[in-house]
Amino acid sequence: MPPAANVPGAPVISEIPVCAAPVPAPRTCPKVPAPACILAGGETTVRIQGRGKGGRNQELALAGALDLKDWSHIALLSAGTDGTDGPTDAAGALVDGDTCRQAWQRGLNPAAYLENNDSYNFFDRLGQLFKTGPTRTNVMDLMCLLVDKRSSHW
């Protein structure tokens, strides 16, 4: 059975590499007229292989940044509704097609940060952490993919 992330209307419940579902959506989902907003919810898991700091939403956003690196006018927010993500003070992160370029210009290697599970420090250095503070509610994690009408890839 395909991951739930690939089933329209199903919650996102998968491991990050399988699930960065909202990210490749423009390539794999039926055409939707731009501008568009694609929402997904659920909770992903992260396979810990490094010694970095971060949470599942930051990890998904970093995987998304790598997928979006050649795309313009597309942004992805992945965040926990409770205002926290893993052992951090951030709810998640916001990325777009420019995130990796900005990182490379600063001497940061996005793939290495992802491999080390160090998404928090990656986004902290870029100023792309999404911080809300505690919300006192926990519905689920939310992913929001925004596609501007000027997108050249939609």
E strand spans, the chain: 36-42, 74-80, 92-96, 129-130, 141-147
pLDDT interval class at 153 (50, 70, 90): low
Say how many residues make up the chain: 154
The per-type count for the chain, helices as H runs and strands as E runs, is 6, 5
- Phi and psi at residue 40, in whole multiples of 5°? -140, 155
Question: Comparing 31-40, 58-67, 92-101, 105-114, which segment has the lowest mean pLDDT?
Answer: 31-40
pTM for this entry: 0.81
Residue 62 has pLDDT above 90, yes or no: yes
Residues 28, 6 contacting (CB under 8 angstroms): yes
Nearest to 143 by CA among 32, 28, 16, 27: 16
Q: Which pLDDT tens digit goes with each residue over 114-143?
A: 999 999 999 999 999 999 999 999 999 999
The two structure tokens encoding residue 78: 């992945």
- Between 3.30.300.30, 3.40.50.300, 3.40.1480.10, 3.30.1370.60, what CATH number should domain 4-147 receive? 3.40.1480.10
Q: Which pLDDT tens digit goes with each residue over 5-36?
A: 344 455 554 455 544 444 444 455 556 678 88
